[in-house]
Amino acid sequence: MTIDEFLGALDALDASALALIASASTPAELELARNRVIGRKSGELGAIMKALPSLAPEERRGAGAAVNRVKSVIEAALALRASAVAAGGVIDSARDLTMPARRQWKGGRHPVTVVIEEVEEIFRELGFTTALGPEAETEWYNFSALNFPSDHPAMEMHDTLYLGDDTLLRTHTSPVQIRTMQRYPPPIRILAPGNVYRRDFFDASHAPMFAQIEGLAVDEGIGFVDLKATLTHFANRFFGATKTRFRPSYFPFTEPSAEMDVECRICHGSGCSSCKNTGWMEIFGSGMVHPRVLEAVGVDAERYTGWAFGMGPARAAMLRYGLPDIRLLYDSDMRFLEQIAG
Amino acid sequence: MNASYLWLRDFVPFDLSATGIGDLLTSRCATVDEVVPLRQDLSGIVIGRVVEAAPHPDSDYLWVTKVDAGLGVLHDVVCGASNVSVGTSYPFAAVGTVLPGGLKIEKRKIRGSVSEGMLCSARELGLGADHEGIMALETAAAPGSRFLDVLPVGDSRLLVDVLPNRPDLLSHQGLAREIAAATGVALSRPPIPGSARAGSGLVDPGNGHRATGTGNLAPVVEVQDAEGCPRYMSAVVRGVTVAPSPDWLASRIESVGGRSINNVVDVTNYMLHGFGQPMHAFDLARLSGNRVVVRRASPTEKLVTLDGVERRLDDSMTVIADAEKPQAIAGVIGGKGSEVNTSTTDILLEAAVFDAARVRATRTRLGISTDASYRFERGVDRTSVPDLLAYATEMLVSVAGATSGEITDSSPAALAPRSVELRLSRVAQLLGQPVTREEIDSNLSAVGFWIASGAGDRLEIGVPTFRPDVVSEIELIEEVARLHGYENFSSELRPFRPGTVPDAPMHLAAKRVRGACVAAGLLEARPMPFVRTGDDSHRVRNPLAEDEAFLRTSILDSLARRAEYNLAHTQRNVRLFEIGTVFTADRDADTGAPAEQTHAAAVVLGDRRPAHFTEPRPPHYDEWDAKGLAVLIGSAAFPGADITCVPAGGDLLWTVTANDRPAGSVRRLKLDAPVWAAAAFGIEVDMEALSDALAEPKPYMPVPAMPSMEVDLALVVPDSTPAADVERAIRNAAGDLLESLALFDEFRGIGISEGMRSLAWRLTFRHPERTLREKEIQGRTAKILSALEAALGIRQRTF
Ligand SMILES: [Zn+2]
């Protein structure tokens, strides 16, 4: 038996023993359970321990400790159950202690907020603070300053809700990049969470308003490798150690541009309907800040470089909780929020 | 765009599988969203080898054969094809296989002989119109192999998401160029099946715009709108026979999801998908006046396009006209009137470049998008037009029997070569690691760039005309990074400097308010912020739906709708909050857009806490809960500020103030609610009411060491006297020994006259340094009572 098999058998016993003990409701049943699990003659724990000598000598000490740990957990469970069984369950002439506790209403943050705050927390360790900006913007902040060519197919990626000739509901939180660079000198490291708007019909996977988180770093001596390292670090923290992939992309305000995918959380790369059989899930759009964007806000683009990234927390929330329809996030159904809000 | 695996292999004979090519393209240049295997209706067909064949005893034209299909037993198969021969392999459908078209093979008797399957002809497999017999295969593949694995009919379609800056990738040739660069296999133009020599039947363009050549006079081509049409080439191709395309051509068109129409139209579509050059074939006989004019349309003109729709034109659009009228909308769609049909013998084959913005504007106005307009909008390469026109003409010679081609060209002059400077130091700065000159040279050359000159740090990189996206150094750096491979860059975190930007104060305030609301048992909502009605200044110009055409001015507008949604789903207990943006009546001074404020709001209705067996019907939320939540939210938004709820009239219960400035309101919400619904209360706080909200932290007060004394006062108070006035009077009279004052009871009824109520306060007295004496407090109490009587005419309640 290998050490892995040994520990696996212990784990299995741990789980099955606790279930067996919990199901005993008389002293006799409990005694049977005790014998079956840790009985001297035919106990399952004893059977596993017989394999100890077959392990490599350097592994035996660790294996022995694991046996002791499991044994003490089982003994504690036996003792606890014994006192409950001895009390005849619960009967007290005055009170039935199995009756439910008095509860308070549980409050909670929206799942999208939960994701945003987690993202902020991870990036905070990497020196990012949080910046905000208006949702009603001008074309200049939303498009021109971000190097969107006028009358170009790229604009089709952003079907815009207009408020006036020159004013609109921002289609991304990127205008916050512009406003931040106008106001603060480098080095800059910010996250910009906020709501953005697109002229998309409200259906199972699209909404005309949704949250976005963008990040921006501007400094001397930072490059594409730092962008890649930062996003990779984030993915490993947020999703747990995971495979990532970077592929070319296009955004008017970044060059080079890259999309970062993580291995599909559902099928682990083998392909499923959630990842459209690609085995990957798109998480970040990103890239090096286009020099024209830096120039638009008066940052010396020869001296300073920058990188930026953006993600959709709603998608991450849908992934995390297995939500089939994005509208669940907007309905504010009490039954949904009671379940998911955290 | 759709790409065919086999078509790509016509350009680059690579060894990768379809998914391998998908991964390669995704990592290098354009994401492949899906790889769709084609002809899966043939997946049941296997290779069957005929090992015995004998004439059927009862028939002159049937054969009785034994077929090895790799199963260890031989199948008896009766076959009617004259070309069946021993030792040859054929596509074989065993019993149970379903043929394309739905026929299921069953075991049956033919003239008394059992037949356990079928040897198939090309037609039966949907692979062509071969009636000559069954499909003899020149293959060494073992019997039983899947037919799709052996023959190149099992194409795959790649759904490629080409980025808007890469028009060069909107063709098989463009994608193949990247594959060739990545695999090191040379890129070449596919030979045309059945074509003997390159450029056959072509005549060089003459000096003028009139094509030279033999036979009837070719039309005069005149480009009047050179801005809308930077290059117009045409070839007069005579003697074509319009007919169904040969199989190879039809299958290429079908492999990308197109429909084979006829040999001439299929050639133009081959050029579009194969090389990214949209082309159009006019029936020469149907162009009047022997003239072709590229000009602006006039506002009175109309054209019935190939899709049968009559389209109104205007002078913003470029058209291809004959002497009389438009025959095609430039770069978008051809006209019905000059469409090639089976009686066509001579065609005018157009290969042109139309202005991207013009095509985009035109097709937007007309509300159509075609494969051609999609490519022109993104940019079609001017330089390759002559070559591709020659290639297409050659293909027409091969597939449609054309005998000649005469060419015109509006702008034969070559574009001056363009180059862009690239500094190796800038590459290293932006990417964070250096890339060698040798690598840059070989990678860029592989996709069509060249080093025009350069030494040391500075290189001049020549840019091919099919890469209009590369206009400055930064795009070249992206090329360098992309071709180096994103996966080959380091992902080690490096030290960084902290930034200069502090956290946004509103972000911190929102976090405090959110925490307070969650602790109070409220659930956060993030609803859609559009509302049904509003002021014109809050109207979205192009709303998706009229019932959500306005920006909200209050969060309670949104939360009220959400409460109604819950009631409609029989949720009796609602407690929601939101922190979000509202739009005010003002204009933002900088942007001119409606000014924004961040508000926090909550709505509560129904049970104040969950039912319990000790309290089966918990009390409902009431205005006092709402008032409490207002103070809670206000205090979280403005720490240290004095939050007060001032009774208000109209729809409001209270106006909330922070340091005496209006900061929100508490109201009873009017909902569209069922009769069983409890009363709903709403709270909304303007989180920007105080700009200097963060007060200095309050200094420590010593924890009291001396005991306190409590006195309860029940007073009879007229309804017209506010409790707040009584409290103020008590505080004034009690002096600084009064530590706290709490209203703990209200009573109306027996013993209290009409228009009056009994209010009871608990007064807590404490001296910081000594124990209070009973007498001392009695004295204070008497003083308070006399002050109350004097100031407000209020007396102690007598029992
Ligand atoms: Zn998956």
pLDDT in tens, B77-96: 998 888 888 999 999 999 99
In a domain, A251, yes or no: yes
Position B216 pLDDT exceeds 80: no
Residue B339, number of CB atoms within 10 A of its CB: 20
Query: Which of B511-525, B590-604, B769-783 reaches the highest mean pLDDT?
Result: B511-525
Q: For residue A334, is pLDDT > 60? A: yes
Please tell me whether residues A171 and A254 are part of one structural domain. Answer: yes
- What total number of domains does chain A contain? 2
Domain boundary among A30, A59, A89: A89
pLDDT (tens digit per residue) in B656-667: 999 999 999 999
Q: Which residues of B are less than 8 Å from A222 in CB distance?
A: 432, 496
CA-nearest of B253, B178, B170 to B1 is B170
- What's the pLDDT at B199? 42
Chain B residue numbers touching A126 (CB-CB < 8 A)? 493, 496
Neighbours of ion ligand 1 (CB under 5 A): A 264, 266-267, 272, 274-275
Six token digits for residue B588: 């933002």
Number of H helices, E strands in chain B: 17, 38
Q: How many Cβ pairs closer than 8 A exist between chain A and B?
A: 277
Asked if A49 and A169 sit in the same domain, the reply is no
Same domain, A51 and A120: no
Q: What is the mean pLDDT of residues B231-245?
A: 94
Same structural domain, A140 and A285: yes
Q: What is the mean pLDDT of residues A141-157?
A: 79
**Helices marked H in B520-622:** 555-568
In a domain, A99, yes or no: no
Please compute the mean of the pLDDT values over residues B725-733 and round it to a whole number: 95
- Are A81 and A129 contained in the same domain? no
- B107-117 burial: b if 16+ Cβ within 10 Å, else e: eeebeebebbb
B726 phi and psi, to 5 degrees?
-65, -45
CB proximity list for B628: less than 8 A, separation 6 or greater: none
Question: What are the chain A neighbours of B28 within 8 Å (beta carbons)?
Answer: 248
Nearest to B573 by CA among B597, B606, B532, B540: B606
My answer on whether B269 and B239 are in the same domain is yes
Token pair listed for A193: 């969470």
**Chain A partners of B27 at a C-beta cutoff of 8 Å?**
245, 247-248
Least confident span in A294-303, B118-127, B550-559, B633-642: B118-127
pLDDT (tens digit per residue) in A181-201:
999 999 999 999 999 999 988
* pLDDT tens-place string over residues B25-55: 999 999 999 998 888 888 889 999 999 998 8
Please, which pLDDT band fits residue A310 given cuts at 50, 70 and 90?
very high
* CATH number reported for the structural domain that contains residue A256 in this entry: 3.30.930.10
Question: Given an 8 Å threshold on Cβ–Cβ distance, is A188 in contact with B543?
Answer: no
pLDDT band at A156, cuts 50/70/90?
A: low
Order of strands, edge to edge, in the sheet holding B756-765? Answer: B738-747, B756-765, B709-718, B795-796
Query: What is the structure's pLDDT at B183?
Result: 94
Angle at B565 between CA B562 and CA B566, to 5 degrees: 95
The torsion of the CA quartet B351, B352, B358, B362, rounded to 10 degrees, works out to -20
pLDDT tens-place string over residues B412-456? 888 889 999 999 999 999 999 999 999 999 999 999 999 988 888
How confident is the model at residue A52, as a pLDDT?
A: 82
Find residues 143-162 of chain A whose CB sits inside 8 Å of chain B.
151-154, 156-157, 161-162
pLDDT digits 0-9 by tens, B343-353: 999 999 999 99
Which member of B377, B544, B593 has the closest CB to residue A138?
B593
Q: Among B486, B523, B580, whose Cβ lies nearest the Cβ of A338?
A: B523
Q: Are residues A277 and A207 in the same domain?
A: yes
For residue A234, pLDDT over 60 is answered with yes
pLDDT greater than 50 at residue B204: no
Q: Please check whether residues A19 and A158 belong to one and the same domain.
A: no
Domain annotation covers residue A101: no
Strands B220-223, B291-296: pairing is parallel
Residue B202 in this model has a pLDDT that exceeds 50: no
> Does A100 fall in a domain?
no
Residues A292 and A334 both lie in one domain: yes
pLDDT value at B210 more than 50: no
Length of chain B: 799
- Which amino acid does the sequence have at A22? A
pLDDT value at residue B206: 37
The verdict on B256 and B305 lying in the same domain is: yes
Distance B28 CA to ligand 1 centre (A): 22
User: What CATH number did the domain enclosing B284 receive?
Assistant: 3.50.40.10
**Average pLDDT for A125-129:** 97
Residue A90 pLDDT greater than 60, yes or no: no
pLDDT of residue A158: 65
Same domain, yes or no, for A163 and A59? no
**What is the residue range of B438's domain?**
418-488
Is B513's pLDDT higher than 90?
Answer: yes
Q: Which long-range contacts (CB under 8 A, 24 or more apart) does B440-448 make?
A: B440/B480, B443/B181, B443/B479, B443/B480, B443/B483, B443/B484, B444/B476, B444/B479, B444/B480, B444/B483, B446/B180, B446/B181, B446/B483, B447/B177, B447/B178, B447/B181, B447/B479, B447/B483, B448/B177
Tens digits of residue pLDDT in B246-268: 989 998 999 999 999 999 999 99
Q: Is B496 in Cβ contact with A334 (below 8 Å)?
A: no
Cα dihedral across residues B581, B583, B584, B589: positive or negative:
positive
User: Using the beta-carbon criterion (under 8 Å), do B575 and A105 form an inter-chain contact?
Assistant: yes
CA distance B260 to B250: 5
pLDDT value at position A93? 55
Looking at the complex, report in whole angstroms how far the Cα of residue A333 sits from the nearest Cα belonging to chain B: 6
Asked whether residue B245 falls in the same domain as residue B365, the answer is yes
Residue A78 lies in a domain: yes
CATH number at residue B423: 3.30.56.10
Please say whether the beta carbons of A196 and A170 come within 8 A: yes
| Cβ within 8 Å of residue B393, ≥6 positions away | B201, B202, B235, B237, B349, B402, B405
| Residues in B touching A254 (Cβ below 8 Å) | none
Place of tokens 């379809």: B18
Give the model confidence (pLDDT) of B461-471 as tens digits: 999 999 999 99
Q: Are residues A51 and A169 in the same domain?
A: no
Q: Output the pLDDT for position A144.
A: 93
CATH number for the domain including B760?
A: 3.30.70.380
pLDDT at A88: 63
Residue B366 lies in a domain: yes
- Classify residue B316: in a domain, yes or no: yes
What phi, psi does A288 have (nearest 5°)? Answer: -80, 135
Q: Which of A61-70, A196-205, B180-189, B495-504 has the lowest mean pLDDT?
A: A61-70
In a domain, B47, yes or no: yes
Q: Report helix, strand or coil for B461.
A: strand
Rounded Cα distance between A61 and B365, Å, is 79
Angle between helices B437-446 and B172-183 (to 10 degrees): 150
Mean pLDDT of all residues belonging to chain B:
91
**Mean pLDDT (chain A, rounded):** 90
Residues B96 and B142 in one domain: yes
Residue B249 lies in a domain: yes
**Residue finishing a domain among A89, A120, A137:** A89
Of A242, A244, A234, nearest in space to A125 by CA = A234
Using the Cα atoms of residue B763, residue B767, residue B773 and residue B775 in order, give the sign of their dihedral: negative
Q: How confident is the model at residue B131 (pLDDT cuts 50, 70, 90)?
A: low
Paired with B282 in beta bridges are B348
| B115, pLDDT greater than 70 | yes
What are the tens digits of pLDDT across the range B271-324? 999 999 999 999 999 999 989 999 999 999 999 999 999 999 999 999 999 999
Please give the residue range of the domain that contains residue A254: 111-340
Question: Are B388 and B257 contained in the same domain?
Answer: yes
- Residue B397: pLDDT over 70: yes
Helix/strand/coil for B188: coil
Region B122-151 average pLDDT: 82
Distance of CA B586 to the CA centre of its chain: 34
- pLDDT band, residue A77 (cuts 50/70/90): confident
Of A78-87, A299-308, B737-746, least confident by mean pLDDT is A78-87
